[in-house]
Amino acid sequence: MKTKGKTSDSANNALSPLSLDGLTPQQRRAVEERGRVLVAASAGSGKTTAMVKKIIRAVAAGVPLKDMLVLVYNEAAANELRERLHGALFEAACLSDGEQRELFRRNLDDLASANIGTIHAFCRALIKENFEKLGISPSFDILSGGEEERYMDRAMDEVFAEYCESKDEVFARLADVLSRSRKEDALRAAVRGIYAVTEIQPDRKKFADGVRASYADATGGEYARVLVEGVRRELARVRKVLEELLPVHSATGQTSYETKSRAVAELCRQAERADFAGICRIAAGAEGVLSVSVKRTKGADDDAVDISKEAFAAAKSVFSEWNGAFGDAELTERMHAQNAVFADKLFEIAERLDDAFAALKRADDVMTYADLEYFAAELVRTCDFKGRFKAVFVDEYQDVNPVQEFIINSLLPDDAFMVGDVKQCIYAFRLADPGIFLERKERYVSNASAGKAVEFNANFRSVNAVLGFVNELFDVIMTKDTSGVDYAADGHFEVGEDKKGADGNALGGCAEVHVFPYCGNSNKSGIYAEARFIATRIKSIVGRACGADGKPLGYGDCVVLVRERSSSARRLAEYVAAEGVPVDAGIFAEESSRAEDELVRFLTVLDNPRSDVPLAGFMLSCFGGFDESELALIAAERPEGGDFYDAVLAAAQRKDPLGEKTAAMLRMLDAYRLKASFRSVPELLGSIVSDFDYDACVEALGEGSAEKVISFITSRAGKDSASDISRFLASYASAGDKRPDKRPAGGNKVRFATYHSYKGLEAPVVFADVAGRTHRGGRSVENVLTDNRGYVGLNYFDFDRRSYARTLSVRAVKKMKGERERREEMRLYYVLLTRAKQYLYVTGAYAKKKAESFGRRPLVKAPESLLDYISEVKYENGLKTPCFVHEISEDAPPAVRTVRTAAAATPRREDEEAIRAAVGFRYPYAAETGLSMKYSVSALDGGGDELTLGAFADRADEGIIYHKVMERIDFGATGADAVRAELERMTAEGTLTAEEAAQVDVSAVVRCLESPVMQKARESRCYREKSFLMYVPAADVGQGSSEDKVLVQGVIDLLIDGDERIIVDFKNSLLRNEEALEKYKKQLKLYKKAVESSFLGKVDKILLYSFKTGRTVDAERDI
């Protein structure tokens, strides 16, 4: 849904959808290959084009869309893919004739209902279709993040109370170890960490047992292996540096340095070959070698001497730390034994938490997104769905987790197409596991009968200068060890003829590295010099250089990417703005209500786009992507007597980029209105956040997480938080006056953004700020530490001394986390450097000492930033890409005001006046625009008592209970005993609580099941809780006399499809009030219309059944 900066695939629109002309050889191979195909698609390599071609050709070969499953990362991607498929199918139909044309037309009709969506959407649909096999209700809701936290807290409270009451000794000792000031926060965090990793496993018990088993062997198990491999890597770097310096010392007569270098290098070599116990022995005797003094003599190479000293110190640090940690073998074993007991208990607590959490959710008929995956996994494990789909397509396959992989693999037919790029897997914090992609690729490479692996390494985005720099850097630094990918062998971009501009000439562009030194501890002078360079270079590009479309580049075509919202990044934005460059620094904004306002505006526009001010605010937000000057042009389109929305509709008809952009926004709003018809507001907001990657924006605004913002918004709406948008907004507004609106950033400004938030986007001009230490090697640890794979590290606790000590497990898990962070950071560098289409400038402030040796000397320790990596590659291999180390700036940084919003550029006066004129207009037919976009049948005539058109009119709670019973009961149950047995089953399954079951009048249920209509139900195919949505004139739902269409949503209690087609609506009222009966009749006619137009065809009867009287009323005959 992002309208600006979208990744370009390849321009094959003029070609037939079935033609392979214009595809690269790799794309062609991927499309033509039969069977299972895995595509490793580098940045900008045209993966979506290949996927669309593959799907269209499958349709042409006779595989209908309804028999395909297409899984994508978010719903925005699903909508984009649908649009592209729609265009391709339409074009294919136009270019075909006869049966082939009819085939494409049928699939075009089926596109709206095709299985194209997220893994969660698929899991939800699968569960809804098979709820009886799982013993759950089909009417479950999905918890928002805030709601999930509350349920989790309740479950945790229950579990902890049970442990305390049972006086569990190990739990008490564990709580003593992890509780501080009588607070359980650390213990709760540890349990949640284990639970989070466990819940994404297809077999939770097997996973937990495997992790427990890892504690069986202290010095020969997984924890020891991780530490041994880490030490080997560190010492290998030291050895390599020392061996490279031996000829220098020999040539300059530095005998003592040469001798010690040989001895320390040999010590390192021995440790590289040793196991855990062997390294302990070597470390214990290393002091004799490491303590030998050395003396510099005349003629020494100063750099060689300094580097040798650094290497000696690094080796001493490694051996000393190892000896201090594991020199006492008995203590190491004792500490590990305590760890094993506590880790086992933590997993036990997590398992009991899972049970308690599940019970609470089942009682309230709710699920989490993880539950969707869990129950879907149970279904594919216990039922055979292997043949359900004839073809499966998976996008962003590198970001799946273990349980998602289990589901996908269980459904995988012979024809499958999976595409992704491990080099761009940067979401480990979401528990994505790139190892799944790598394992499948390795399997396909080694066994061609299992599948085919194809590499996409052509790039349709960037000029050759950018691609050349990326290649020469990542060929060296991106290896299987550093990222899981051998870039030189598998990811190297193909660099051929350079990109051309609109005039047919080569497109302008470059890649450069600029280092800005600073003295002392303050980097302000370096950042100021960097900012001045950025500002100067932007001014030299804007209005002079042209983009691919031949138009001059503007400020809005430039982006500065920073690692995080740090004080240094903020300072950089301030200094750039101080140089007279218009800056969109919205990521540093501090207004706490901005995200809330933007999301509420979005809902308001969905509900009623003719509300002018919210519409203008929405369009200026990141969701709309317009700026003030564009709104002014749109306002000029307003027809006489119309309002601002009419101007938007008129602007969408323009045959220019603004018209296309406006039309795309209207299509996007239509898509979300459709979603709003069958989703609660919290679910809808969650979808918006996911589709626009709004979490990154909210984090940038300093408002925490988007989930917390949604939770706050929905809490203000109270009980109406799950209702339709209109009621939700009314409750939200009545909860209190909103804070004043703050106009979101927009316009032709240089944007500041974080690396993560810019994944999937691109810009003609990119400044990559890479200053600072981005890889931290694993952050400081608490007394318990968990890894994504479930490993647990705990500090040892001496109960006598009341003191902690770091253990083998803590050190190992810290190392695991550090290695995972290092690998993900490498992939993040790749994402960063592949965003630029034309101009890429890598910039950063660098400490003076490092700057002086940039590219001139090796690094003894592992690189900690991208500039470190570039320096190392330049030293070892040389770089063709120009690298500049600037002089230390002697100019004092200016005093600047803190950047709070993007405010450097102001709109023109005439633009502002046009916008004010547009949004200030009052539409003369305002009453007509009061219609909501969607109504639920149960809310059409909301009131009280029998006049309410809910599923049960009076005594709603009791009615809901009967509704639950009829939703799950076996219609074949006869007699009171059989009904009681059914109620006991539902209670055991959690469908009913014991209190609810006690309220059920068994005789009323028996009477219902023995009624003629239910006897017919036993003999027929039945649909329970059949949901629908359809457009009808507003007048048909009692909303005035307007013929404007509104969307109506409802749920049919029972649809009998036998020799007669009958709709049955269960009521808990007496069915005697004539006014109520008329309203019920209107409701049932809507049900009938929905069934006849959408489901099965003609409906013969629409009936009301009363539990109160046992009476059946024919709505068309008796009312």
Asked whether residue 42 is marked as a ligand-binding residue, the answer is yes
43 belongs to an annotated ligand binding site = yes
The identity of residue 337, as a single letter, is A
- 793 labeled binding residue: no
SS3 label, residue 236: helix
The one-letter code for the residue type at 454 is V
For residues 710 and 235, give the distance between their C-alpha atoms in angstroms, rounded to a whole number. Answer: 49
Give CA 421 to chain center in angstroms: 15
To the question of whether residue 44 is assigned a binding role by annotation, the answer is yes
**Continuous segment of H or E residues that includes residue 100:** helix 98-110
CA distances from 965 to 130, 637, 643, 1011 (A): 18, 57, 51, 16
Kindly state the DSSP code that residue 790 receives in the 8-state scheme. Answer: S
- 552 and 765 Cβ atoms separated by less than 8 Å: no
Burial class (CB in 10 A: 0-12, 13-18, 19+), 206: exposed
In terms of Cβ atoms closer than 10 Å to its own Cβ (0-12, 13-18, 19+), residue 567 is: exposed
Q: What letter would DSSP give residue 183?
A: B
Residue 208 buriedness (CB in 10 A; 0-12 / 13-18 / 19+): buried
Look at residues 804, 807, 786 and name the one whose alpha carbon lies nearest to residue 335.
807
For the chain, the first-to-last Cα distance in angstroms comes to 49
Q: At what angle do helices 255-273 and 222-251 cross, to 10 degrees?
A: 160
Beta pairing, strands 934-936 & 883-885: unpaired
- Residue 757 marked ligand-binding: no
Pairwise CA distance, residues 329 & 278, whole Å: 12
Q: Cα–Cα distance between 826 and 817 in angstroms, integer?
A: 14
Check the CA dihedral 548-554-560-566 and report its sign.
negative
Nearest CA among 79, 607, 575 for reference residue 70:
79
47 is in an annotated binding site: yes
Residue 1006: alpha-carbon gap to chain centroid: 49
SS3 of residue 48 by DSSP: helix
Residue 656: partners with Cβ closer than 8 Å, 6 or more residues away: none
> In whole angstroms, what is the distance from residue 126 CA to residue 114 CA?
14
Does the annotation flag 41 for ligand binding? Answer: yes
| DSSP secondary structure of 898-950 | PP-SS-SS---HHHHHHHHHHHT---TTGGGGG--SEEEGGGTT--SGGG--S
Q: Per the annotation, where are the binding residues for ATP?
A: 41-48
Q: Per the annotation, where are the binding residues?
A: 41-48
